[in-house]
Structure 1
Amino acid sequence: MSPTPFDLARIGAGLPVAGVLDDLRAALAGGTAVVQAPPGSGKTTLVPPLVADLLHGRGGAGRVVVTQPRRVAARSAARRLAHLAGTGVGDLVGHTVRGDRRTGARTLVEFVTPGVLLRRLLQDPELPGVGAVVLDEVHERGLESDLLVGMLADVRQLREDLVLVAMSATLDAPRFAALLGDGAPAPVVDCPAALHPLTVRWTPAPGRRTDERGVTREFLDHVARTAAAAHAEALARDAATDALVFVPGAWEVAQVAGRLRERVRGVEVLELHGRVEPAEQDRATAGRGPGEPPRVVVSTSLAESSLTVPGVRLVVDSGLSREPRRDAGRGMTGLVTVAASRASAEQRAGRAARLGPGEVVRCYDERTWAAMPAHLTPELAAADLTGAVLLLACWGAPGGRGMSLPDPLPAGALADAVEVLHGLGALDEDGRATATGRLLARVPVDPRLARGLLDGARTVGARTAAEVVAMVSDDHRPPGGDLARLLADLRSGRAPGARRWADEARRLRAIAEELPATAPAGAPPAAGGAPPAETAAGAVVALALPDRIARKVGDTYLLASGTRAGLPAGSALAGHEWLAVADVTRAAGRAAAGTGAVIRAAAAIDRAVAERSAEHLLSDEVRASFDAGRVTARRVRALGAVELSATPVRPTPAAARGAVRAAVADRGLDLLGWSAAADQLRRRLALLHHHLGDPWPDVGDDALLARLDEWLAPELDALADGARTARTDLTDPLRRLLPWPEAARLDGLAPERLGVASGSRVRISYPAADDPGGRPVVSVKLQECFGWAASPAVADGRVPILFHLLSPAGRPLAVTDDLASFWSGPYAQVRAEMRGRYPKHPWPEDPWTAPATARTKRRA
């Protein structure tokens, strides 16, 4: 078979990666390879047509599918390769991204997003018609890209003819080589960097970069001023210089771009992020044409490595990034602004030195640079895993078991995802996908939003459900957190990204009309009919995220999950009792109303919608509590953690006992109080357990709480029946833990008192129960030990007693566990210092022969 129509020499002209094509051809003889090349080296442009050429030159068939981490990168890469190949997009080179497919019968190279390829794999794991897959930018460690690594490694066990190539811009290549190799690591082809000299300048802002609300406006002003000044200086040296400014998110891009347009003249300011309309994205990545003005492109990390912005000789870096983070304690996941990694900052800076000498201006200082993390946090380690776990369950590998993933799924996030999917009916007891789960997996959004789309179509109509899900699944920032207002702005075309939202809504509507609801076939709409138009958006959100239904409690909102959150200041939602919350994130200060969380996006609902949408969270039960020494009970109807009604009732005996046990387990045994006798017995038992072990019981807090019914049941039952806590003595209950027949030896192994030389019996102070290294102490007047050479010990002689020898006034004079050594040495100095202060008490020169006494010399 003849080679493909791609002219590799023409396509690769001037690209550093062209120098390693022979090495790559040799490496691909085994069917897998990893290409390590820095951003801007041309790997995305040249490697896919080379792989297509190899396939067809060897008589193979099939398309080369290339993944790009973002839609704009997939479209940009397809456009550039098609231009170099002398064809239009959709002919030899095409792309498929969400809502936009341009391929044809002649297409040999197709650029796609990871999500597109994941769903193709679920539809048909053999990937018919595909001869090779190239995973680009695997170093970014996107969640979907990581899943593809494992799934494609599985596919290659079935299809040895499938060629796999992974491409990385960092030194992560050996990790992926090991994952893709069959028995031995895949060959790694390294393309050295072709950087020109790079000048680094540090211009830190005078104030903070971020606060509890996000990136400060003062810092954005600083970035804009710095970019304007640096670009003006660069243009004075070279009029061909374009600038690239990195900020963390779409909102910051708009803010900095707006400020730059106010400051600069004769310069085109462009915005580049995932929410910009495709035509504007293409404009930013196409490069400056002849006669066009200089450009400043303000971008998110999109331009960091996954696509190239031509003509850039100046980079201005905020040093910030927006990454997914999961708050397991509050059940929240969202994008948060964090310090970029040093690896990311290096890649950003490198964009300025691809074509010639360049400059990077960092809007932070060298101390901040040193504190930045070395590498990007993999999305798998920090994000919500619900969608990923459903995909793996549909793939037949619950939790990723048996797969060659770059990292295992974190146990905590995995357990949370499984719990959510069980709640959706998407997983069976073995963790495999149910029919409902497979249905939800066919919708290209989070499984919870998929449920909101499919079930919401039955209650508010497919159009409204699709519009709401399209809105919530994108990174919009509704004013005051009000989704209903944002929906109105999107419908009217006033909101940024309205055209793309409309396209996505139409696509989701078609899916909703094609697929059935997740409710049983033929099930009628929820009782009560369709909600009012003003709560329709909230109804869809409530169906998707029932655990985030919230009720106003005072000045804040309590979510069904148990999280408390505040609204942004001045939000129009503040007057509503019930909200369906789409986005709640960690925050501090006034933004969170003292709750630690702030509602970023929500819509109003009423109680009826709340109860219909979260029917599985409704409960009606008697809740008893033990407080201030008495048991009280209420009959509570609740939606998760949100109480709907509560009526005082008489607690049942079982409920009362449960309340007492729960209170003790929650607040500890100090709730009952330790008498001196009980505390002493506990200390004695603890010392024996620490030094002799079994069968002497562990009497630490955790151990005692774990065995409450074994030793404290009668007393707990008495409290449940109305006994007062002040009358509860734990001495006798502790004795129930004594091992028999060993209990008979307790007083011998750990006596309460010690007989000293004077004949007195002095109390032994045992160490605290949680102090395994502590020593028993006897505090006794020095004169009571004259002539005593013994070194007493407890616990079968294993733990020497520590003597605190006291003055006649009870003040410590010496601490020793070796009395014989004390009399022979330090005693002489103590005698010299004390005999004049306490002349009425004996201080003999020879303590060995003096009688031990507790009395003065006259009384003796």
Structure 2
Amino acid sequence: MIRTEALARLPVRSAVPALRDALEGHGSAVLCAPPGTGKTTLVPLELAALLESGTDADADAARPGRRVVVAEPRRIAARAAARRMAWLLGEKVGERVGYTVRGERVVGRHTRVEVVTTGVLLQRLQRDQELAGVDVVVLDECHERHLDADTVAAFLWDVRAALRPELRLVAASATTDAQGWARLLGGAPVIASEDASHPVEVVWTPPARPVRPPHGMRVDPALLTHVASVVRRALAEREGDVLCFLPGVGEIARVFGQLGDTAGVEVLQVHGRAPAAVQDAVLSPGARRRVVLATSVAESSLTVPGVRVVVDSGLAREPRVDHARGLSALTTVRASQAAGRQRAGRAGREAPGTVYRCWAEAEDARLPRFPAPEIKVADLTAFALQTACWGDPEASGLALLDPPPGGAMAAARAVLRSIEAVDSSGRATERGARMARLGLHPRLARALLDAAPAVGPARAAEVVALLSEEPPREYGDDLAAVWRTARRGGDAYAARWRAEARRLGAAAAPAASARIAEPTAGPGADVRTAHTPDARATSAPDSPVDDHHAVGLVAALAFPERVARAGGGSYLMVSGTRAELGDGTGLRGAPWLAVAVADRPVGAGHARVRLGARIDEETARRAAGTLYGEGEEVRWADGDVVARRVERLGAVELTVRPLRDADAGLVRDALLDGLREEGLGLLRWSRDAEVLRQRLGFLRHHLGAPWPEVSDDALHARVDEWLEPELSRARRRADLGRIDAGQALGRLLPWASGDAARIDELAPERIEVPSGSRIRIDYADPERPVLAVKLQEMFGLQESPAVAGVPVLVHLLSPAGRPAAVTADLASFWRDGYRGVRAELRGRYPKHPWPEDPATAEPTRHTNARLRR
């Protein structure tokens, strides 16, 4: 029997007529309904016409009606929504309301409303683009901006535009960019529902002492201790159940441990990995007061009855990827303002409530307004395969709120090409289409298909199932040991693992008839070549491939760029990233590893292996065959030319042999690298060579062309013009030191124009001063050359000397050779500055002439006694 009283209390009911009109008129609509209004449970029932009086399952089966598919971002939300709608109809799940999530399908022949995850709907669209038999699709919780949800919305809009204009689309959310979604759906009407929430008081409870900000997956334990204390405070100060938001499973477990056996309170842990029984218990009223520790899964879609208090840690987990290192994972971030509003709203779903926020009020305005769209920050390999299978490899024709970043798409397509999921034009291959249908990340799909012939489909499926959902930390970091633990485990993870392994085993069975090629050291090793099976390439249960080899091969095929070899106390991945093992690991001593999961701890220079498998070099070569290369390497290293023949897997050197007769061109390039790295000082620079370079620099600065630029960069750019043929004859560092830089530099003089002959005229190395001495000019500063000369030798000179029209800066020296004055205007100095110098120095140097009028005095390099003789 339909529960009419419960339905009547849902405020979204008033928006249903306008929603129906929008769907009839435009065909699509954006429904904005705050949490608790019934958008997830009442609207699908109304659109399927299941709430009309007098209808039941038997009567409904006898007449036509709309079939509605509701897409939820999470499995727990899909199950909860289906159960709630079935309860409202007074039925069991699987009658007129059912659900489908990965590995679980509960529907019947009378099902009219089916709740699915966005991932399931994505797979369904790839199999049947028309969605035959579906009349309305409701995309729930659009504001979360999950990548699958954005992709499904784009595909559905394509379907409606090209194949099924009668298909109705509803984008539903509590808080979202309504106008953006309306534009995306072709100007769809926006329907708003009234808010059913109650007032929520905000209590700011920052830690007493500063805590370290989150980094990677790490959260400061001091913050978690503070969150636990705030939960205890909330229990003491407020009535009702407490819902506490934490970023992940590990943080939930830590706070759970700190709360201990709180008197009279039941503490529950809710996350995507929680057992179904726990999830069901959370969504039902409790017999005693409860504290529910939850991830962001409880932000929306789920109503936890009895909650009057929310404790918000202020943290969330978002996907990130480092394309350069090939490491992708969730990372801890500050939750957005929108997430904070969603979380606080949980406290006001049924009655007035309170939210305790574990940060200062002043910090709130600095938080991001919305969470980052997953398409902007996540690994796009799976997305790129989906769009390639859809027929739009560039995703340029898809209706997306945010376009995918070009760099991330390029990296994704490179991965897809390496596993032959797409061809050179980016179109999906038959193999790629099969990968897409597996419901796995393409890397894992590749591992499943390519390992099944060697280790058997069942074992390949079991290992891939381990990699598709990271095992609990207490299982350890040795993937083979983790596999054994899961096989005998009785926890919720082991149960989910077994179900997923069964699903994947059935999908992998056809691949077991193919053969993995023999290990090869050559480039382009193909792990899928079909030939007569050998002793190790069989799917039989008694395959001689042992478990260690099987688990290592699967992991290496999934992450070939993370194949790593031991050396120097750590492991070097073929991608070039170094990784270290954790304390107490069971992987210590392995010569090779297939790294399945890695992260970078705070302040660490290297990545850390969190999950890996032992492999041998044969498996490494097999899995990472496309990264194999061999050839001559000639480079500048450790201060000299190093020439060798190298066989390598990416950054990992397999064999190295000295190269006796290296290619002259490669040697020359290495020497040039050395000159760039260590400077032109590697050449032999005599005093005359240095002076020539300075003179040329002066002429270039003041006269320009045809005088050459002689900076390091300019000389490197014109090395062919001035350093040949000496450079072509050099083979090592010592040979560079024998090259006369001055002689080589002379080749850059403007000989063709004839200006080279004027260098001594325009920038003479020395000039004659009034005493008859020839004094060297210092051109170290190209702006102003310097002439350092004894003061007495310049008597009688009225104007400062000039070179190339530029007055030199005269350093007038005392008889002891120390600067007495500096001037660029001798006439002014004789008139105004000389008297002071004369008064200071003539008593100190009485043997030298200090005439009253230096402008008319006789210049000399001698003393008074010498002058009298």
Which bracket does the TM-score occupy, shorter chain normalised?
0.7 to 0.9
Uncovered stretches (5+) of structure 1, i.e. residues with no partner: 768-774
Partner of 1:772: none
Measured against aligned partners, the alpha-carbon deviations of 1:802-849 in whole angstroms (never above 9, x if no partner) come to 96877757669779xxx68x988x9998668755444579999999x7
Distance in 2, matches of 1:514 and 1:706, equals 59
In structure 1, the partner of 2:111 is 107
Instruction: Label 1:452 to 1:762 Cα distance change in 2 as closer, same or farther (>3 A).
Output: same
Aligned to 1:175: 180
**Structure 1 residue 244, shift from structure 2 partner:** 0.9
Q: Distance in 2 between matches of 1:357 and 1:776?
A: 81
Match of 1:35 among 31, 35, 39: 31
Shift in alpha-carbon separation, 1:27–1:657, aligned structure 2, 3 A: same
Counterparts in 2 of 1:18 and 1:738: CA distance versus 1, 3 Å = farther
Match of 1:288 in 2: 285
Q: CA deviation at 1:667?
A: 2.8
Displacement of 1:35 in angstroms is 2.7
Q: Does the C-alpha gap of structure 1 residues 811 and 88 become closer, same or farther in structure 2, counting only changes over 3 Å?
A: farther
Are 2:530 and 1:522 equivalent residues in the alignment?
Answer: yes
**Partner Cα distance (1:658, 1:80) in 2:** 75
Q: Which amino acid aligns with 1:82?
A: A
Residue 161 of structure 1, CA deviation: 2.1
* CA distance 1:700–1:565, shift in 2 (3 Å): farther
What is the letter of the counterpart of residue 491 of structure 1?
Answer: R
Shift of 1:787: 8.6
For the residues of structure 2 that align with 1:131 and 1:602, how far apart are their CA atoms?
A: 46
Matched, 1:492 2:500: no
Amino acid at match of 1:174: Q
Q: CA deviation at 1:605?
A: 1.7
1:95 match? 99
**Structure 2: distance between partners of 1:144 and 1:686:** 62
Moved more, 453-462 or 665-674: 665-674
Q: Within 1, Cα distance between the matches of 2:784 and 2:612?
A: 61
**Displacement after TM superposition at 1:738 (Å):** 7.2
Q: Distance in 2 between matches of 1:791 and 1:23?
A: 94
Please report how far the alpha carbon of residue 504 of structure 1 lies from its aligned counterpart in structure 2 after TM superposition: 0.7
> Deviation at 1:857?
11
Q: Distance in 1 between matches of 2:713 and 2:66?
A: 63
| Residue in structure 1 matched with residue 249 of structure 2 by the alignment | 250
Residue in 1 that maps onto 2:540: none
Q: Distance in 1 between matches of 2:703 and 2:365?
A: 51
* DSSP-derived class of the 1:432 partner: coil
Tell me by how many angstroms 1:387 deviates. Answer: 1.3
Q: Please, what TM-score do these two structures have when normalized by structure 2?
A: 0.83
Aligned residue for 2:650? Answer: 640
Query: Do residues 563 (structure 1) and 567 (structure 2) align?
Result: no
Task: Tell me how far apart the structure 1 counterparts of residues 68 and 709 of structure 2 sit (CA, whole Å).
Answer: 65
Q: Report the counterpart of residue 86 of structure 2 in structure 1.
A: 82
Following superposition, the deviation at residue 395 of structure 1 comes to: 1.5
- Aligned equivalents of 2:117, 2:761: Cα separation in 1: 72
Question: Aligned equivalents of 2:748 and 2:312: distance in 1?
Answer: 66
Instruction: Structure 2: state its 5+ residue gaps.
Output: 53-62, 517-526, 538-543
**Structure 1 partner of 2:453:** 458
Offset at residue 470 of structure 1 (A): 0.7
1:166 counterpart residue number: 171
2:706–2:750 Cα contact (<8 Å) kept: yes
Which residue identity does 2:98 align to in structure 1?
A: G
CA distance in structure 2 between the partners assigned to 1:814 and 1:527 by the alignment = 91
Structure 2 distance, partners of 1:393, 1:100, is: 27
Instruction: Show the 5 A alignment for 1:56-205.
Output: 63-158=67-162, 159-181=164-186, 185-191=187-193, 193=195, 194-204=197-207
Distance change in 2, residues 1:54/1:155 (3 Å):
farther
Structure 1 residues 754 and 19: CA distance shift in structure 2, 3 A: farther
- Alpha-carbon distance between aligned partners in 1 of 2:32 and 2:104, rounded to the nearest angstrom: 30
- The 5-angstrom pairing of residues 300-379 of structure 1 reads 300-366=295-361, 369=364, 372-379=367-374
**Shift in Å, 1:709:** 5.4
Q: Which amino acid aligns with 1:164?
A: L
Amino acid of the residue matched to residue 64 of structure 1?
Answer: V
Tell me the percent identity: 44
Secondary structure at 1:94 match in 2: strand
* 496, 504, 518: which one aligns with 1:508: 504
Q: Does the C-alpha gap of structure 1 residues 495 and 761 become closer, same or farther in structure 2, counting only changes over 3 Å?
A: same
Q: Structure 2: how far apart are the matches of 1:703 and 1:419? A: 37
SS of 1:321's equivalent?
strand
Structure 1 residue 659: Cα displacement: 6.1
Give the match's secondary structure for 1:566.
strand
Deviation at 1:752, TM superposition (A): 4.5
Paired residue secondary structure (2:487):
helix
Matched, 1:271 2:283: no
Aligned equivalents of 2:589 and 2:110: distance in 1? 59
Aligned twin of 2:523: none
Cα deviation, residue 762, structure 1: 3.2
| Distance (whole Å) between structure 2 residues aligned to residue 351 and residue 586 of structure 1 | 34
Change (3 A) 1:196 1:750: farther
> Would you say the 8 A contact 2:764–2:803 is kept in 1?
no
Secondary structure of 2:204's counterpart equals strand
Q: Is the 8 A contact 1:459 1:526 kept in 2?
A: no
Write the letter of the residue equivalent to 2:739.
T
State how far apart, in whole Å, the 2-side matches of 1:357 and 1:854 are.
103
CA distances 1:306-350 after superposition (whole Å, capped 9, x unpaired): 433232221112222222221233221112223323332332223
Q: Distance in 2 between matches of 1:548 and 1:687?
A: 54
In structure 1, the partner of 2:443 is: 448
Q: 1:780 to 1:414 in 2, by over 3 A?
A: farther
Task: Please tell me whether the aligned partners of residues 675 and 682 of structure 2 are also in contact (alpha carbons under 8 angstroms).
Answer: no
Per-residue CA shift, 1:572-627, capped at 9, x if unaligned? 111222211101112245xx5xx421111101122232223233333343333444
**2:245 partner letter:** F
1:427-475 Cα distance to aligned partner (Å, 9 max, x none): 2121211222222222211111111111111111111111111111103
CA contact (8 A) 2:700 2:709 kept: yes
Query: Which residue in 2 is equivalent to 1:423?
Result: 418
Letter in 1 for 2:243: L
C-alpha separation in 2, matches of 1:357 and 1:827:
94
Cα RMSD of the aligned pairs, angstroms, is 4.3
Any residues of structure 2 matched to 1:739-750 within 5 Å, and which? 744=755
1:118–1:625 CA distance, 2 compared to 1 (3 A): same
Q: Report if the CA contact (8 A) 1:565-1:596 is conserved.
A: yes
SS, match of residue 451 in structure 1: helix
> Match for residue 770 of structure 1?
none
SS across alignment from 2:633: strand
Answering whether residue 236 of structure 2 is matched by residue 225 of structure 1, we say: no
Partners of 1:252 and 1:82 in 2: CA distance? 34
- Change in Cα spacing, 1:688 to 1:787, as seen in structure 2 (3 Å) is closer
2:647, 2:655 within 8 Å by CA — same for their partners in 1? Answer: yes
> Would the aligned equivalents of 1:689 and 1:696 in 2 still touch at CA under 8 Å?
yes
C-alpha spacing 1:627/1:741, structure 2 compared with 1 (3 Å): same
Deviation at 1:139, TM superposition (A): 2.2
Q: Output the CA distance in 2 between the equivalents of 1:648 and 1:749.
A: 50
Distance of 2:857 and 2:199 partners within structure 1: 94
Larger radius of gyration: 2
Q: Give the Å deviation of 1:853.
A: 7.8
The structure 2 residue matched to 1:719, chosen from 730, 738, 747, is: 730
Which residue pairs with 1:771 in the alignment?
Answer: none
1:37 and 1:843 map into 2 onto residues whose CA distance is 99
Partners of 1:802 and 1:347 in 2: CA distance: 75
Question: What is the distance in 2 between the residues matched to 1:177 and 1:721?
Answer: 68
